[in-house]
Amino acid sequence: MSKLSGASLPGMTGGGFYNLHSTLQDAAIRKVLPLWRDALKDVAIAGRFVTIADYGSSEGRNSMAPISAAIEIVRARAGAQIPVSVIHTDLPGNDFSTLFRTLIESDDSYQKKGAEIYASAIGRSYFEQILPANSVDIAWNSWTLQWMSQNPVEDPDFLFGPNSPHEWVREAVTQQQEKDWRAFLSLRSIELAPGGRMLCLFGSKGDSTLGWEWIPEVLWNVVQDMWRQGLLSDEEKLRINLPLGPRDLDAIRQPFDQEGVFSGLRLLRAEILQSPDPYWPAFQKTQNASQFGENWKNFMKAVFAPVVRTQLDPSGDTSARVDEMFERFAAEVAVSPRETQHYVGLAIVEKIDSAGSGDNRQGPDLRAF
Ligand SMILES: C[S@@+](CC[C@H](N)C(=O)[O-])C[C@H]1O[C@@H](n2cnc3c(N)ncnc32)[C@H](O)[C@@H]1O
């Protein structure tokens, strides 16, 4: 078992499972759509066609509304016939087949919004340059940047670095997220066309609370129980963790200078927003605790089952143990249902016009990262 790094992260649970169980992510996206529409009202549209990149698409369900909105806005300005190229990117292990089926089958597919809309995909980590310099007019990026490019440490006493009992773990997560944010921005600065804009939405935290205290704690209790019962080894218990970290407002702004500029990108907007827990209103209505546990289990499995599977010893029955872990998690959640108050960070950036003039193919010096 090797330490996880960006390229070896397995992505989300495939086969349509992420699409079905990503309502929580969708709820935050719905909340920021008005800001996205607003940002696109005067985005530069210079070429004979428009290129929209979707960085970290997973199976595509949650990309349909923002990409549809972008197409509608640019076509209202540049003419209904302007061709649009939409490039979805994700890790190589992503279920791109489901993405392409979603584009054909979903009633919400942006491809049903008109002719001359061309979808394609790239299976490669965005911690590399993955598109030609100056080629992206509009970029959407939701719910990916809470994932770190690599797991900086292994925490012996918890599975979610941001609320580890150890200062050195929390610090390592903060530092990794700082580095990753700079690297991501610098690379996108190469790819964006002058005047192009990008919205990033990712897991964040509140002023006095992380927001994700309860749910990781329930999962950690399950891991410990399974370890005590001999279902997980010492090494597996050490390795199991969720390689994520939130970014607060200071962290979002940190790379940008006094003028709000970093690596040829200008920060147009930075905000932390409280995000809905879609499972709680349903529980309040029905009082069905086991359904509440199932909903949280499916969300957690959709996002974390593949990564946990890679952290287990492959010689054992990994799938059965991962299933067991999440069944126990559902049962625990159902014992005392609670609302989760969580937060998202939002950053909207624009590539400064002058940064795109001349030959920018070399991009910034990434040795700093
Ligand atoms: C929670 S899903 C978000 C999917 C979708 N954008 C949404 O809003 O529902 C996170 C996605 O980010 C992708 N991801 C994580 N790290 C990445 C990287 N280094 N390069 C490309 N994609 C990455 C994962 O594979 C996964 O599909």
pLDDT of residue 312: 96
Query: Encoding tokens for residue 40?
Result: 């696109």
CA 106 / ligand 1 centre spacing (Å)? 20
Q: Ligand 1 test: best mutation among 21, 122, 147, most atoms within 8 Å of CB?
A: 147
| Residue in 268, 350, 270, 333 with CA at minimum distance from that of residue 299 | 333
CA 181 / ligand 1 centre spacing (Å)? 14
> Percentage of the chain with pLDDT > 70?
93
pLDDT of residue 365: 40
Judge whether residue 273 has pLDDT over 50. yes
CA 105 / ligand 1 centre spacing (Å)? 22
* Distance from C-alpha of 84 to C-alpha of 39, rounded to nearest angstrom: 18
Is 90 close to ligand 1, i.e. is its CB under 6 Å away?
A: yes
Order across the sheet with 192-203: list the strands: 117-123, 84-90, 50-55, 136-142, 192-203, 342-351, 265-275, 261-262
| Residue 99 or 5, more confident | 99
pLDDT of residue 316: 81
pLDDT of residue 9: 85
CA 191 / ligand 1 centre spacing (Å)? 18
Q: Quick one: average pLDDT of 274-303?
A: 97
On average, the pLDDT of the chain sits at 93
- 320-329 long-range contacts, CB within 8 A, separation 24+: 321/226, 321/231, 321/232, 324/226, 324/231, 325/219, 325/222, 325/223, 325/226, 326/297, 326/300, 326/301, 327/297, 328/222, 328/225, 328/226, 329/218, 329/219, 329/222, 329/293, 329/296, 329/297, 329/300
Is 62 close to ligand 1, i.e. is its CB under 6 Å away?
A: yes
Q: What is the 3-state secondary structure (H, E, C) of the chain?
A: CCCCEHHHCCCCCCCCHHHHCCHHHHHHHHHHHHHHHHHHCCCCCCCCCEEEEEECCCCCHHHHHHHHHHHHHHHHHHCCCCCEEEEEEECCCCCHHHHHHHHHHCCCCHHHHCCCEEEEEEECCCCCCCCCCCCEEEEEEECCCCECCECCCCCCCCCCHHHCCCHHHHHHHHHHHHHHHHHHHHHHHHHEEEEEEEEEEEECCCCCCCCCCHHHHHHHHHHHHHHHCCCCCHHHHHHCCCCECCCCHHHHHCCCCCCCEECCEEEEEEEEEEECCCHHHHHHHHCCHHHHHHHHHHHHHHHHHHHHHHHCCCCCCHHHHHHHHHHHHHHHHHHCCCCCCEEEEEEEEEECHHHHCCCCCCCCCHHHC
Is 303 close to ligand 1, i.e. is its CB under 6 Å away?
A: yes
CA 54 / ligand 1 centre spacing (Å)? 10
CA 56 / ligand 1 centre spacing (Å)? 4
Domain locations along the chain: 6-356
pLDDT digits (tens, 9 = 90+) for 130-156: 999 999 999 999 999 999 999 899 999
| Residue 321 or 4, more confident | 321
Is 6 close to ligand 1, i.e. is its CB under 6 Å away?
A: yes
pLDDT digits (tens, 9 = 90+) for 225-238: 999 999 999 999 99
Closest ligand 1 atom to Cα of 10: 25
Is 91 close to ligand 1, i.e. is its CB under 6 Å away?
A: yes
Ligand 1, atom 3: closest residue by C-alpha: 143
pLDDT digits (tens, 9 = 90+) for 168-183: 999 999 999 999 999 9
| Residue in 58, 64, 56, 199 with CA at minimum distance from that of residue 137 | 199
CA 58 / ligand 1 centre spacing (Å)? 6
Half-sphere exposure of 6 (CA within 13 A, CB side): 19
Answer for the pair 54, 87: CB distance below 8 angstroms, yes or no.
yes
* Distance from C-alpha of 169 to C-alpha of 110, rounded to nearest angstrom: 42
Is 13 close to ligand 1, i.e. is its CB under 6 Å away?
A: no
CA 177 / ligand 1 centre spacing (Å)? 15
At 47, the pLDDT band (50, 70, 90 cuts) reads confident
CA 338 / ligand 1 centre spacing (Å)? 27
pLDDT of residue 298: 98
Q: Quick one: average pLDDT of 19-43?
A: 97
pLDDT of residue 46: 84
| Residue in 326, 56, 333, 77 with CA at minimum distance from that of residue 199 | 56
Judge whether residue 254 has pLDDT over 50. yes
Judge whether residue 310 has pLDDT over 90. yes
> Percentage of the chain with pLDDT > 90?
88
At 357, the pLDDT band (50, 70, 90 cuts) reads very low
Q: Is 318 buried (19+), middle (13-18) or exposed (0-12) by CB count in 10 A?
A: middle
| Residue in 278, 272, 249 with CA at minimum distance from that of residue 343 | 272
pLDDT of residue 8: 64
Beta bridge partners, 350, equal 197, 266
CA 211 / ligand 1 centre spacing (Å)? 20
Q: Quick one: average pLDDT of 267-279?
A: 97
Is 25 close to ligand 1, i.e. is its CB under 6 Å away?
A: yes
Beta bridge partners, 348, equal 199, 269
Judge whether residue 368 has pLDDT over 80. no
pLDDT of residue 359: 37
Q: Ligand 1 test: best mutation among 58, 108, 130, 201, most atoms within 8 Å of CB?
A: 58
Is 9 close to ligand 1, i.e. is its CB under 6 Å away?
A: yes
Give me the CATH code for the 6-356 domain, please.
3.40.50.150
| Residue 86 or 363, more confident | 86
Ligand 1, atom 15: closest residue by C-alpha: 144
CA 122 / ligand 1 centre spacing (Å)? 12
pLDDT of residue 353: 82
Q: Quick one: average pLDDT of 55-82?
A: 97
pLDDT of residue 328: 98
pLDDT of residue 172: 97
Q: Quick one: average pLDDT of 187-216?
A: 95
| Residue in 88, 76, 75 with CA at minimum distance from that of residue 49 | 75
Is 11 close to ligand 1, i.e. is its CB under 6 Å away?
A: yes
